């Protein structure tokens, strides 16, 4: 921790004042009561589901007490506190399962294990029954979930704000090698964790028009209102009594039944409001959503923002009486641009509902708001048609126009005569140029977020650097002091302690137990890395984890894999820039080499791929199908045997990641340099004792710098080389013509070797590779294959491999989300950051 952050944190409540330790007898009583409620009658055998609910209810009671204590403590802080209360707005929270984490945090694993055993069930068997709370697409949502854990652990006064989606990320099934999507009805059996807050309800308006009164004051008269009802999910700290809160909003109709219509017998009309409200709660948008149905997404964003800010203002008024100090006492953080309506809504509330003047409201807004960017791809930057705003959020549009007007006046003063600059930085894309399909005017949400924030950050050093050099170069010139980097991290509690109990116990014995709270204690492994006995113990733990995964692969896929083979793993969203296809091309090359030379000294490999493709992303789905086709051929070829297997585990999510990552020997982090903002999967793997084969991209770079580049298998063109190659005119065919191995791989796919002779199946995929290949797979292939050979060489020497793994783990101290949050506090959320 740096000195500034530790100073800021020293003023946090620590929870030490709350001394009530959790008595396991409290829980036993709560659990027995909850179980009786679950079973209705005594004496009946408890099902695992009933045990799960009973344990969850019992934990929830204890957490609710901690929640009340935490809130009381935070409310006493007042303005002297150097850390503002943080309001983390995110459309996604990819939480996964809760019970295992709650039991670990409350120190109640053994109590509950005994209680379950007494009912005839094992703890792991019951934990497995809990559905994942999968209210996120991938990395961005999982980051938000890790942050909630660190908020609690660090005692940061905070609220996470999100939506209570009925259906989370779709469940992925595989039929004939193709992805099929099914709804994820995660609350079908209820949600025993959530606490409804009947007293916390706010009205959120939509549509309508703006009225001007005699004094010239403007006021929005919405056509409709929805009620936002709060549900809290409580996240415990592991080393104090503090908790953090995820407050999720549920939309309800203001008047659920149109009674007149009901009496007329028109039941459809009678329920219309209810149906409209349900649509908000309905489904988490997968990241592929096309224009159809997008209006609903904007409504979801507006609903999240308005309810959260009304809640913040109500709390602030209760604590302070007036709004003057709102920006000094509160931080409002935007996790990407999805909640970027927040500054417009805060301005509206301050101006229209609380009668504040523009300059004061703007100054408060700028103090409060900060924004994290998650992607450099210009096509991924969120914009909304002005016409949609006019229909749905007319007053917000007025306010955005006014913000824009004042901002552009400033720009014109600073850079007189530079009309191009003004056009580029405007919050409104005036349309009619390339890259704006409809040619219609659109609101640029990232621009709004930047102009209204006092801090903007990227999520890894390279990403933050490219951000100010590329997509936000103009803004960085206008506001150089605003842009910062805060490299991502992951929580060691979930991703090491809970996911990998064997490795955790080994660490405890060798470096003590402190790493759970201060991950930099992993550094104590450095002097032990050359100890062969420790290396052996490490590999024994790894083998147990691999056995567990091998059992799962056999159970789910019917494929037997060799537990002593090298487990080579790539699990993440399926995306062209993440280059799962490059991985599959290498597998094919290896397959061909094995067939050509079966007696060579092959290092046996099991390649594991998992990940969901957005439902409208044709190329990503084709890659999934190819992985299945290739796996089917290789896994059933008797000439190959244990030397090579390729398996695809369906329905990737947090709990599957917790099973797979501890079993990995090799972590595939092979995105085209300059495309992966940070990655957090890379961190989870290294923490769990996998070595990384990776490009010079995202946080891979900082990891390599931390434990030594010679301890990572790096390969491929770096960002500048990628740019240079594109600048001179990249010709993928050239690489295929020059490389017989690559040619043979492409030919085999084209011929239909893996698609039962169907040479058409992958024509589009191959055409794209040969003619465009915008992610430079062809250019990086040869170097990737060489890096894979270096992997084999090291794996042949188990002592050297184990030493390298230990050195990787030793260097992972930086990549705890606790460190990330300390940096946010220091650079973004402290009162000090306001200058
Ligand atoms: C960590 C994590 C991610 C992010 O993985 P990347 O490899 O960084 O893209 C996505 N989904 C889940 C379920 C995760 O746990």
**Reduced 3-state DSSP string for 100-114:** HHHHHHHCCHHHHHH
Q: Is the CB of 572 under 6 A from ligand 1?
A: yes
The residues carrying an active-site annotation are: 374, 572-573, 578, 680, 684
Alpha carbon nearest to ligand 1 atom 6, residue:
681
- Asked if residues 150 and 239 have their Cβ atoms less than 8 Å apart, the reply is no
Mutate-to-test residue for ligand 1 from 101, 492, 680, highest number of ligand atoms within 8 A of CB: 680
Distance 635 CA to ligand 1 centre (A): 27
Distance 70 CA to ligand 1 centre (A): 30
Q: Where are the alpha helices (DSSP H) in 321-393?
A: 326-329, 342-348, 358-368, 386-392
Q: Is the CB of 679 under 6 A from ligand 1?
A: yes
Q: Is the CB of 142 under 6 A from ligand 1?
A: yes
Give the whole-angstrom CA distance, residue 556 versus residue 356.
Answer: 61
Distance 287 CA to ligand 1 centre (A): 14
Q: Where are the alpha helices (DSSP H) in 772-813?
A: 777-795, 798-810
Give the whole-angstrom CA distance, residue 829 versus residue 371.
Answer: 11
Mutate-to-test residue for ligand 1 from 571, 653, 679, 693, highest number of ligand atoms within 8 A of CB: 571
Q: Is the CB of 653 under 6 A from ligand 1?
A: yes
In the chain, which residues have pLDDT < 70? 1-25, 27, 38-44, 79-81, 288-293, 432-438
DSSP string for residues in 11-49: TS--STT------HHHHHHHHHHHHHHHHSSTTSPPPHH
Q: Is the CB of 168 under 6 A from ligand 1?
A: no
Q: Where are the alpha helices (DSSP H) in 524-617?
A: 532-557, 580-596
Distance 652 CA to ligand 1 centre (A): 9
Mutate-to-test residue for ligand 1 from 101, 133, 138, highest number of ligand atoms within 8 A of CB: 138
Name which of 194, 389, 204, 208 is nearest 310 in CA terms. Answer: 204
Q: Is the CB of 654 under 6 A from ligand 1?
A: yes
Q: Is the CB of 657 under 6 A from ligand 1?
A: yes
β 713-714/691-694 pair status: parallel
Q: Find how far residue 735's CA is from the centre of its chain.
A: 35
Give the whole-angstrom CA distance, residue 360 versus residue 355.
Answer: 11
What's residue 7's pLDDT?
Answer: 40
Distance 179 CA to ligand 1 centre (A): 19
Which ligand 1 atom lies nearest to the CA of residue 698?
8
Reduced to 3 states (helix: H, G, I; strand: E, B; else coil), residue 713 is: strand
Alpha carbon nearest to ligand 1 atom 4, residue:
139
Tens digits of residue pLDDT in 194-211? 999 999 999 999 999 999
- Asked if residues 161 and 596 have their Cβ atoms less than 8 Å apart, the reply is no
Alpha carbon nearest to ligand 1 atom 9, residue:
572
Give the whole-angstrom CA distance, residue 448 versus residue 438.
Answer: 21
Mutate-to-test residue for ligand 1 from 572, 658, 685, 700, highest number of ligand atoms within 8 A of CB: 572
Which ligand 1 atom lies nearest to the CA of residue 680?
8
Alpha carbon nearest to ligand 1 atom 8, residue:
679
**The two three-digit tokens of residue 571, written as one number:** 């699990």
Distance 572 CA to ligand 1 centre (A): 5
Give the whole-angstrom CA distance, residue 636 versus residue 629.
Answer: 11
Which ligand 1 atom lies nearest to the CA of residue 571?
7
Distance 418 CA to ligand 1 centre (A): 42
Mutate-to-test residue for ligand 1 from 168, 500, 649, 681, highest number of ligand atoms within 8 A of CB: 681
Alpha carbon nearest to ligand 1 atom 1, residue:
681
Give the whole-angstrom CA distance, residue 311 versus residue 819.
Answer: 28
Q: Where are the domains of the chain?
A: 1-76+107-130, 492-819
Distance 140 CA to ligand 1 centre (A): 8
Q: Is the CB of 680 under 6 A from ligand 1?
A: yes
Mutate-to-test residue for ligand 1 from 657, 694, 700, highest number of ligand atoms within 8 A of CB: 657
Distance 137 CA to ligand 1 centre (A): 9
- pTM score: 0.96
Exposed, middle or buried: residue 45 (CB in 10 Å: 0-12, 13-18, 19+)? exposed
Alpha carbon nearest to ligand 1 atom 7, residue:
681
Distance 700 CA to ligand 1 centre (A): 14
Q: Is the CB of 97 under 6 A from ligand 1?
A: no
Within 10 A of 477 (CB to CB), how many other CB atoms are there? 13
Within 10 A of 811 (CB to CB), how many other CB atoms are there? 24
Distance 95 CA to ligand 1 centre (A): 12
What's residue 549's pLDDT?
Answer: 98
Distance 697 CA to ligand 1 centre (A): 16
What's residue 20's pLDDT?
Answer: 42
Alpha carbon nearest to ligand 1 atom 11, residue:
138
What's residue 215's pLDDT?
Answer: 87
Distance 681 CA to ligand 1 centre (A): 5
Which ligand 1 atom lies nearest to the CA of residue 683?
8
Distance 144 CA to ligand 1 centre (A): 12
What's residue 2's pLDDT?
Answer: 43
Give the whole-angstrom CA distance, residue 288 versus residue 575.
Answer: 11
**The two three-digit tokens of residue 415, written as one number:** 């850079």
Which ligand 1 atom lies nearest to the CA of residue 96?
13
Distance 182 CA to ligand 1 centre (A): 20
Cα radius of gyration rounded to whole Å, the chain? 27
Q: Is the CB of 15 under 6 A from ligand 1?
A: no
On the CB side of 76, CA atoms within 13 Å amount to 9
Q: Is the CB of 681 under 6 A from ligand 1?
A: yes
Mutate-to-test residue for ligand 1 from 101, 139, 140, highest number of ligand atoms within 8 A of CB: 139
Q: Is the CB of 138 under 6 A from ligand 1?
A: yes
Q: In terms of CATH architecture, what is 492-819?
A: 3-Layer(aba) Sandwich (3.40)
Which ligand 1 atom lies nearest to the CA of residue 657?
15
Which ligand 1 atom lies nearest to the CA of residue 684?
1
């Amino acid at each position: 921790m740096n000195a500034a952050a530790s100073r800021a944190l020293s003023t946090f409540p620590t929870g030490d004042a709350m001394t009530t330790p959790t008595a396991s007898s409290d829980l036993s009583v709560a659990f027995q009561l909850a179980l009786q409620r679950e079973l209705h009658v005594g004496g009946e055998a408890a099902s695992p589901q009933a045990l799960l609910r009973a344990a969850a209810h019992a934990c929830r009671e204890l957490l609710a007490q901690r929640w009340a204590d935490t809130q009381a403590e935070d409310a006493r802080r007042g303005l002297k506190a150097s850390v503002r209360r943080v309001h983390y707005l995110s459309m996604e929270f990819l939480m996964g399962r809760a019970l295992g984490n709650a039991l670990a945090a409350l120190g109640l694993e053994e109590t509950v294990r005994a209680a379950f055993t007494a009912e005839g069930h094992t703890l792991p068997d019951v934990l497995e029954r809990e559905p994942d709370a999968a209210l996120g697409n991938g990395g961005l949502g999982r980051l938000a979930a890790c942050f909630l854990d660190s908020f609690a652990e660090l005692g940061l006064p905070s609220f996470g704000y999100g939506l209570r989606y009925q259906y989370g990320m779709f469940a992925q099934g595989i039929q004939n090698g193709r992805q099929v999507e099914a709804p994820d009805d995660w609350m079908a059996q209820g949600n025993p964790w959530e606490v409804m807050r009947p007293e916390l309800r706010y009205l959120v308006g939509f549509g309508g028009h703006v009225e001007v009164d005699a004094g010239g004051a403007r006021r929005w008269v919405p056509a409709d209102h929805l009620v936002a009802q709060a549900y809290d999910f409580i996240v415990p700290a592991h080393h104090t009594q503090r908790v953090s809160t995820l407050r999720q909003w549920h939309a309800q109709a203001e008047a659920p039944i149109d009674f007149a219509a009901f009496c007329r017998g028109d039941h459809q009309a009678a329920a219309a409001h209810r149906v409209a409200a349900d649509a908000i709660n309905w489904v988490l948008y997968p990241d592929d959503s096309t224009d159809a149905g997008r209006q609903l997404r904007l409504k979801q964003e507006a609903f999240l923002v308005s309810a959260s800010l009304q809640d913040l203002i109500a709390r602030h008024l209760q604590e302070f009486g007036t709004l003057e100090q709102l920006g000094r006492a509160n931080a409002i953080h935007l996790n990407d641009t999805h909640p970027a309506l927040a500054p417009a809504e805060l301005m509206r509330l301050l101006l229209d509902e609380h009668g504040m003047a523009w300059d004061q409201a703007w100054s408060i807004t700028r103090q409060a708001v900060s924004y994290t960017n998650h992607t450099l791809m210009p096509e991924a930057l969120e914009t909304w048609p002005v016409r949609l705003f006019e229909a749905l959020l007319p007053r917000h549009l007025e306010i955005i126009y006014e913000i824009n007007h004042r901002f552009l006046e400033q720009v014109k003063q600073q850079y007189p005569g530079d009309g191009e600059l003004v056009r580029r930085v405007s919050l409104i894309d005036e349309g009619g140029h390339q890259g704006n399909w409809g040619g219609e005017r659109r609101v640029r949400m990232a621009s709004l977020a930047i102009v209204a924030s006092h801090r903007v950050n990227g999520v890894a050093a390279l990403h933050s650097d490219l951000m100010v050099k590329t997509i936000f170069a103009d803004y960085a010139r206008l506001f150089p002091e605003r842009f910062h980097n805060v490299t991502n991290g992951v929580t060691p509690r979930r991703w090491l302690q809970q996911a990998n109990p064997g490795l955790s116990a080994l660490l405890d014995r060798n470096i003590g137990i402190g790493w759970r709270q201060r991950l930099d204690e992993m550094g104590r492994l450095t002097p032990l890395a050359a100890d062969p006995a420790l290396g052996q113990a490490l590999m024994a733990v790894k083998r147990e984890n691999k056995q567990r995964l091998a059992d799962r692969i056999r159970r789910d896929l019917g494929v037997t894999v060799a537990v002593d083979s090298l487990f080579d793993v790539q699990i993440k969203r399926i995306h062209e820039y993440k280059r799962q296809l490059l991985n599959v091309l290498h597998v094919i090359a290896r397959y061909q080499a094995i067939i050509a030379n079966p007696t060579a000294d092959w290092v046996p490999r099991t390649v594991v791929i998992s990940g969901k493709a957005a439902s409208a992303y044709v190329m990503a789905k084709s890659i999934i199908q190819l992985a299945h086709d290739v796996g089917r051929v290789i896994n059933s070829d008797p000439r190959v045997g244990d030397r090579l297997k390729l398996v695809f585990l369906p329905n990737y999510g947090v709990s599957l990641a917790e099973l797979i990552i501890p079993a990995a020997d090799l972590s595939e982090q092979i995105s085209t340099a300059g495309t992966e903002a940070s990655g957090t999967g890379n961190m989870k793997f290294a923490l769990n004792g996998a070595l990384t084969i990776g490009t010079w991209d995202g946080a891979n770079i900082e990891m390599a710098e931390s434990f030594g580049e010679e301890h990572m298998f790096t390969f491929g063109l770096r960002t500048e080389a990628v740019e240079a190659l594109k600048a001179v005119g990249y010709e993928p065919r050239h690489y295929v013509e020059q490389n017989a191995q690559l040619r043979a791989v492409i030919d085999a796919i084209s011929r239909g070797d893996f698609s039962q002779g169907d040479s058409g199946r992958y024509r589009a995929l191959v055409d794209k590779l040969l003619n465009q290949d915008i992610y430079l797979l062809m250019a990086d292939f040869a170097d990737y294959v060489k890096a894979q050979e270096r992997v084999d060489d090291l794996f042949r020497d188990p002592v050297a491999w184990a030493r390298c793994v230990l050195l990787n783990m030793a260097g992972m101290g930086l990549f705890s989300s606790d460190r990330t949050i300390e940096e946010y506090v220091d650079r973004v959320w402290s009162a000090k950051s306001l200058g």
